[in-house]
């Protein structure tokens, strides 16, 4: 089955163009997700931009965002963005479709660095589908968002999109379950109706879902082409850094990513080792916000 590694990334024109502080090209890029799904983006960024230092933050204590209210998502996204700015980040990748859909505009207005958000790959799916039927797996928040509805209106005029909330999938990845019998049964229940309806393309509308690629392939074989998100995000980051003169100079070796989690970080460490072959410590960090005034963790 073909895997189409492309997506709808926010265009350079959509990135904050306000006056930016003088930044060091060797400063890190922040990558943020509600949990572990953004590791798929980190993997692509490391491949595309091996000289960049990266700081990855998983807000695992409050994951998944897909079942949270919009204000909570915006509150956490802004707080973590501000924390990454304080850590010296020169750019921020919001590697979470749910956070992008609900809060990217607000956060872009308030942070003094460039932001790169993500969107489900509706456009490439519509361009590619031969049967004119495509499936979308995404969180409920993403599917109900105005941003997603706008994507459908713009690109799906002659293509039928079957939108399925991926209930339970983020939680499975968060606990490092990417192939159990229970997970496969859940995926089967989501994917079979798409196959029965004639879909030939599947949009992975959450950055957690690429880690379920093998399980999905086992179920659908070559009947669905997958629209992944991560590589296009990495290329978008490359364009933004080049435009701003912030691309890191060459280094003798690729820097080891810095991993941070608002939870204990055990699953983050396990997934990074299992799927990225990176054995690195995880810092437990406390990032307070208006909606989480009670201390949720302690600094490592």
| Active-site residue, 163 included | no
Structural Rg of the chain based on CA atoms: 18
Give the whole-angstrom CA distance, residue 235 versus residue 45. Answer: 8
Give the whole-angstrom CA distance, residue 48 versus residue 273. Answer: 20
> What totals of helices (H) and strands (E) does the chain contain, helices first?
11, 13
Degrees to nearest 5, angle at CA 66 with 178 and 197: 70
- The alpha carbon of 196 is separated from its chain's Cα centroid by a whole number of angstroms, namely 29
| Active-site residue, 159 included | no
The SS3 assignment for 68 reads coil
The SS3 assignment for 119 reads strand
Mention every residue, 6+ apart, whose C-beta is less than 8 A from residue 139: 64, 65, 66, 67, 97, 98, 165, 166, 170, 205, 206
Choice among 96, 159, 163, 260 that is catalytic: 96
Choice among 159, 163, 206, 260 that is catalytic: 206
Q: Which residues are catalytic?
A: 96, 206
């Amino acid at each position: 089955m073909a895997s189409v590694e492309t997506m709808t990334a926010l265009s350079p024109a959509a990135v904050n163009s306000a006056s930016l502080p003088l930044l060091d090209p060797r400063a890190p890029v922040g990558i943020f997700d509600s949990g572990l799904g953004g590791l798929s983006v980190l993997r692509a960024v490391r491949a595309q931009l091996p000289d960049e230092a990266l700081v990855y933050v998983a807000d695992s204590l409050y994951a998944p965002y897909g079942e949270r209210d919009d204000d909570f998502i915006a509150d956490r996204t802004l707080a973590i963005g501000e924390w990454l700015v304080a850590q010296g980040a020169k750019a921020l990748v919001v590697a979470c479709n749910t956070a992008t859909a609900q809060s990217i505009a607000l956060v872009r207005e308030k942070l003094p660095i460039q932001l790169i958000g993500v969107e489900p790959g509706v456009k490439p799916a519509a361009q590619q589908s031969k049967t004119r039927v495509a499936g979308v797996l995404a969180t409920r928040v993403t599917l109900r968002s105005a941003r997603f509805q706008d994507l459908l209106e713009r690109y799906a005029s002659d293509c039928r999109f079957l939108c399925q909330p991926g209930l339970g999938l983020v939680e499975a990845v968060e606990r490092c379950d990417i192939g159990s019998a229970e997970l496969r049964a859940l995926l089967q229940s989501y994917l079979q109706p798409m196959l029965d309806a004639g879909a030939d393309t599947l949009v992975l509308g959450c950055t957690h879902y690429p880690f379920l690629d093998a399980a999905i392939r086992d179920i659908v074989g070559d009947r669905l082409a997958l629209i992944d998100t991560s590589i296009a995000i990495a290329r978008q980051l490359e364009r933004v850094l080049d435009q701003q003169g912030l691309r890191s100079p060459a280094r003798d070796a690729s820097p080891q990513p810095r991993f941070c989690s608002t939870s204990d970080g055990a699953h983050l460490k396990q997934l990074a080792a299992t799927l990225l072959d990176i054995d690195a410590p995880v810092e437990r960090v406390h990032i307070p916000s208006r909606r989480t005034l009670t201390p949720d963790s302690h600094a490592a």
